[in-house]
């Protein structure tokens, strides 16, 4: 049935066009109020606003298996929302990357 609809140039009703999906994602994307990029701080790397804690460091610690509680203990100025903002920033950054298979 899906092949028949595609042949006629119509997508199933529950499928979004690429443009519709892009628009929804743009509306849902956070403005990243907790993350700042300033060439004078940490060489311009994205950091949690008001700190010198790079987003990269938070992600590496999470990737190494540390819990959010462990990170908060290591960096008392951070909050749970800062950790979530770092993850959201990274996800939005990667969403705009082109993947090249070679």
Report the CATH number at residue 45.
Answer: 1.10.10.10
Q: Which two tokens stand for residue 3?
A: 């092949």
Q: Which two tokens stand for residue 77?
A: 């100025």
Count the domains in the chain: 1
Within a domain: 101: no
User: Kind and range of the H or E element at 35?
Assistant: strand 35-36
How many CA atoms lie within 13 Å of 66's alpha carbon, on the beta-carbon side? Answer: 16
Q: Which two tokens stand for residue 97?
A: 């990357």
Within a domain: 31: yes
Q: 7-45 pLDDT, tens per residue?
A: 555 555 556 566 665 565 555 555 789 999 999 999 999
pLDDT band at 5 (very low <50, low <70, confident <90, very high): very low
Within a domain: 21: yes
Instruction: Give this prediction's pTM.
Output: 0.67
The residue ranking higher by pLDDT, 101 or 53, is 53
Contact 80, 34 (CB under 8 A): no
Within a domain: 46: yes
Q: 30-86 pLDDT, tens per residue?
A: 578 999 999 999 999 999 999 999 999 999 999 999 999 999 999 999 999 999 999
Expressed as residue numbers, the domain containing 87 is 2-95
- Between CA 84 and CA 32 the distance in angstroms is 10
Within a domain: 23: yes
pLDDT of amino acid 20: 61
Within a domain: 100: no
The residue ranking higher by pLDDT, 1 or 86, is 86
pLDDT of amino acid 8: 54
Q: What is the largest CA-CA distance in the chain?
A: 59
């Amino acid at each position: 049935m899906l092949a028949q609809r595609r042949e006629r140039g119509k997508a199933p009703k529950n499928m979004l066009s690429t443009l519709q999906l892009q628009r929804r994602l743009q509306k849902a994307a956070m403005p990243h109020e907790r993350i700042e990029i300033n060439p004078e701080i940490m060489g311009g790397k994205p950091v949690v606003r008001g700190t010198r804690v790079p987003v990269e460091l938070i992600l590496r610690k999470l990737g190494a298996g540390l819990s959010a509680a462990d990170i908060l203990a290591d960096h008392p100025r951070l909050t749970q929302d800062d950790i979530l903002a770092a993850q959201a920033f990274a996800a939005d950054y990667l969403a705009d990357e082109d993947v090249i298979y070679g």
